[in-house]
Homo-oligomer: A and B are copies of this chain.
Amino acid sequence: MAAARDLQARLTKPAGSLGALEELSVRLSGLAGTCPPPRPTPATVAVFAGDHGVHAQGVTPWPQEVTAQMVANFVAGGAVVNAFARQVGADVMVVDVGVGVPLHGGATLLDANIRRGTRDLSVGPALTRDEALAAVEVGIGVARALVASGAKCLITGDMGIANTTPAAALTAVFTATDPALATGRGTGIDDAMLEHKVDVVRRALALHRPDPADPLGVLATVGGLEHAALTGFILGAAALRIPVVVDGVIAGSAALAAAAFAPDAVAAMVAGHRSAEPGASVALAHLGLEPLLDLGMRLGEGSGAALALPVVEAAVRVLHEVATFDSAGVSEK
């Protein structure tokens, strides 16, 4: 990291004039243990998909079948995350870790289904500890496989109708925040449904009293299968010292779980954007991460993180490509 700071100071630009890009380049040099760090390409967005028993509580106006329909849309290349990934040169891989119905996909759909949706976390544990652990291991395995096949940057994606409810519960537990501040409108719910959603989260936390020092227990009682898999995905990237671009409120809650398992994992996290979901900002503040983009997006799928990849790449490129004052014959002040 000292080498990266020193190099930044010698490049043909005023010191500090690249703002957040300079700090990011230093962090990525530290993560890789080299300066300049490797370019973050090729990159892959892994979209972990799952369904949620808490859907029965009426926390979203969208029917549960949309999860499977959107997985088909991802596989067909028709979703926003596909368009953004194509643009930035990233691959998209879809991982069924907990969709409610059997899926028939192509080469880009990995069947790692652990169960066909979680149980309703407002009346009992969403998952057994074994199920949660299995999902974490799916995520670690996906990270390992992608890096083994050449990925230099991983990007978190998610799909699961009702999945902002477990994300709110996870975020409230790991950051000790009131559920009213960690719960948002997700796909766009009205005031009455938001109040109900907060109440569902509050009752779940009262029922389970999850212990933030036991992240597996938290994921099992109030999490989701894609949340647990994303936790493993982030841990896998961190263990391999590969940057992982964190998307929005689902990924943020998984990042909190990952940090609860292994605080050092934060070093591998790059906050892609500031989701409009309030829980995302609660998570990023707790992790001490500043997002690269702030465009009022709240789609999920990994869309915001995919769109941040060019910024990550730019931060690294500067160290690879920009001339120094010496090499360019430019006078210093």
Q: What is A's interface to B at a CB cutoff of 8 Å?
A: 11-21, 60-63, 65-66, 69-70, 72-73, 76, 78-80, 82-84, 86-88, 186-188, 276, 292-299, 303, 307, 310-311, 313-314, 317-318, 320-323, 327-331, 333
B residues in contact with A303, CB < 8 Å: 18
B residues in contact with A79, CB < 8 Å: 12-13, 322-323, 328
Contact (Cβ within 8 A) B307 A314: yes
Copies of this protein, total: 2
B residues in contact with A13, CB < 8 Å: 79-80, 299
B residues in contact with A83, CB < 8 Å: 314, 317-318, 320-322
* Distance in Å: Cβ of A284 to nearest Cβ of chain B: 15
* Distance in Å: Cβ of A123 to nearest Cβ of chain B: 24
* Distance in Å: Cβ of A48 to nearest Cβ of chain B: 18
The 5 listed contacts between A and B (C-beta, < 8 Å) are A13-B299, A19-B295, A63-B331, A86-B321, A307-B311
Question: Which 3 A/B pairs are nearest by Cβ-Cβ distance?
Answer: A19-B296, A78-B323, A14-B187
Question: Residue A318 contacts which of B80, B323, B333 (CB distance < 8 angstroms)?
Answer: B80
B residues in contact with A329, CB < 8 Å: 69, 72
Contact (Cβ within 8 A) B73 A328: yes
Cα(A61)–Cα(B83), bound, Å: 46
Cα(A62)–Cα(B15), bound, Å: 12
B residues in contact with A299, CB < 8 Å: 13-14, 17-18
Cβ-closest chain B residue relative to A15: B188
- Asked, given contacts A14-B188, A17-B187, A87-B314, whether A323 binds B70 with beta carbons under 8 Å apart, the answer is no
Contact (Cβ within 8 A) A20 B78: no
B residues in contact with A327, CB < 8 Å: 78
Cβ-closest chain B residue relative to A60: B333
Cβ-closest chain B residue relative to A62: B333
Cα(A310)–Cα(B15), bound, Å: 25
B residues in contact with A11, CB < 8 Å: 80
Contact (Cβ within 8 A) B298 A19: yes
Question: Residue A73 contacts which of B17, B82, B296, B323 (CB distance < 8 angstroms)?
Answer: B323
Contact (Cβ within 8 A) B330 A12: no
Cα(A313)–Cα(B309), bound, Å: 14
